[in-house]
Amino acid sequence: MQDSKPTRTRYSVLLILFLVTVVNYADRATISIAGSSIQKTLGIDAISLGYIFSAFGWAYVIGQIPGGWLLDRFGSKKVYAGSIFTWSMFTLLQGVIGEFGPSTIVVAFFFLRFMVGLAEAPSFPGNARIVASWFPSQERGTASAIFNSAQYCATAIFAPVMGAIVYHWGWQHVFVVMGVLGIIMSGVWMVTIYAPKDHPRANAAEVEFIAANGALVDMDSPREKGDKGNTWNYVGQLLTNRMMIGIYLGQFCINALVYFFLTWFPVYLVQERGMTILKAGFVASLPAICGFAGGVLGGVISDALLRRGHSLSIARKTPLVLGLILSMSMILCNYAGSDSVVVGLMALAFFGKGFSGQSWTVMSDTAPKQIAGLAGGLFNMIGNISSITTPIVIGYIIAGTGSFKMALIFVGANAFIAAFSYLFIVGEIKRIELKVPTPKQSIASPYKPPQAADQR
């Protein structure tokens, strides 16, 4: 009788996802907040700093498919916990990098940032996987928007804190503080995250409700043996699907905006606008608050459109495209004469970027259930190639032109291409039904099915 009313355990799961993602993005942003001080201390140029910024991206991209495979093979809880602990340890180690000599410190920084990226690889595929397993379709947009908006919350909360730490105690202490916080979060994760059917606080009524409304509650159940040999066939199907090609292109361009904000934005405020690192930390938090508000609002509107009977395509694309158009407003900073106008324009751009944050919802809506983790990893791998190219391209632009003007145009152009891709390439948004190879298509199988079975 007491189980007749569904519990709401999925919201506590979402809270933990949000908090972990806040720490995730704060750890990514440590290098940008400390960037100007590191550059001054080490005496490196913009191109070298761009390569250090990109180190995370190289490993993050490389680790996506293995990370997604690990999630599908061993489940979200264990793999994600290991990921949090490992990236936090490598973040912590950056705090003692000053012990290296000048000739090796840049290489050491690159290596440690590389390892942070490798360890973080399963994080967002894991987020999408957990949201797909815990949330019904009509709540998935809001849930995905909340965890995706954690990137802005991370900046809003930690940019002022990290800026103050750098200003008062030096850049090394930023990495120590964030590393310790991440290690604590890995322990919190282990005692709070479970699959829907295993969670001690989720009753049968909640599991039945979310399953009946589109949640993939059996995602972490043992996989069928036959699925292993089909993995790369499935990946090939994703890479040749027009909808997915458009989604991949869109995510690549969207991440150009993400990694501008995560790497060069604080440096822009210090070097182009003449702010102190302390002021830049506080200023960076204001647009981030707008990004968080835009992210949550975009998810709420997307789910509201879905509940009102609009198609999945309309519900997901509307905030995506409108937000990307708004984010192009950053280009106008090139013509702004005062810092207050720059902050206002960047706040509008952040709001737009947040409002467009439905790309991971689209991933949860389209990923085949057989390879949800792998599909998310592939999506994140292609999208995060931008985490490599964007910091390096901007570094070369600044070195070649002596300013950020063309860099802002470059980032704004990426927002335009992403909007174009969702409008004209993606087409209808729907879950992909993979074609399972028949036994006779498998070289490893000696079994040949009867002709009648083939015809049927």
Structure tokens given for 77: 């809880």
CB-CB contact of 330 with 345 (8 Å): yes
> Which residue has tokens 């910091």?
391
Report which of 216, 144, 136, 199 is spatially closest to residue 9, judged by C-alpha positions.
Answer: 199
E runs forming strands in 26-110: none
**pLDDT, position 47:** 76
Question: What does the alpha-carbon distance between residue 301 and residue 293 come to, in Å, rounded to a whole number?
Answer: 12
**pLDDT tens sequence across 200-212:** 999 999 999 999 9
Check whether 452 has a pLDDT greater than 50: no
Q: Which residues of 228-241 are buried (b: 16+ CB within 10 A; e: fewer)?
A: eebeeebbebbeeb
Report which of 326, 210, 340 is spatially closest to residue 269, judged by C-alpha positions.
Answer: 340
> Which residue has tokens 């609009």?
310
DSSP 24-54: HHHHHHHHHHHHHHHHHHHT--HHHHHHHHH
| Overall size of the chain counted in residues | 456
Check whether 3 has a pLDDT greater than 80: no
> In the CATH scheme, what is the homologous superfamily, with its name and number, of domain 9-194+230-432?
MFS general substrate transporter like domains (1.20.1250.20)
**pLDDT tens sequence across 398-449:** 989 988 999 999 999 999 999 999 999 999 999 888 787 665 544 444 444 4
Q: If you average pLDDT over residues 324-347, what whole number do you get?
A: 90
Report which of 183, 165, 181 is spatially closest to residue 173, judged by C-alpha positions.
Answer: 165
Residue 203's φ and ψ, nearest 5 degrees, are: -85, 170
Higher pLDDT, 301 or 49: 301
**pLDDT tens sequence across 81-100:** 999 999 999 999 888 876 66
In the chain, where are the structural domains located?
9-194+230-432
**pLDDT, position 450:** 45
pLDDT band of 245, cuts 50, 70, 90: very high
Question: What does the alpha-carbon distance between residue 343 and residue 49 come to, in Å, rounded to a whole number?
Answer: 24
pTM over 0.85: no
386 SS3 class: helix
Largest CA distance in the chain: 77
Structure tokens given for 323: 């937000």
Structure tokens given for 67: 């990370």
**pLDDT, position 352:** 93
Q: Lowest-confidence range among 75-84, 97-106, 294-303, 370-379?
A: 97-106
Structure tokens given for 259: 């990694």
Report which of 21, 262, 279 is spatially closest to residue 166, judged by C-alpha positions.
Answer: 279
Question: What does the alpha-carbon distance between residue 24 and residue 1 come to, in Å, rounded to a whole number?
Answer: 41
One-letter amino acid of 9: T
Structure tokens given for 426: 């993606």
One-letter amino acid of 30: T
Task: For Cα atoms 311, 312, 316, give the angle at the middle one, nearest 5 degrees.
Answer: 120
273 SS3 class: coil
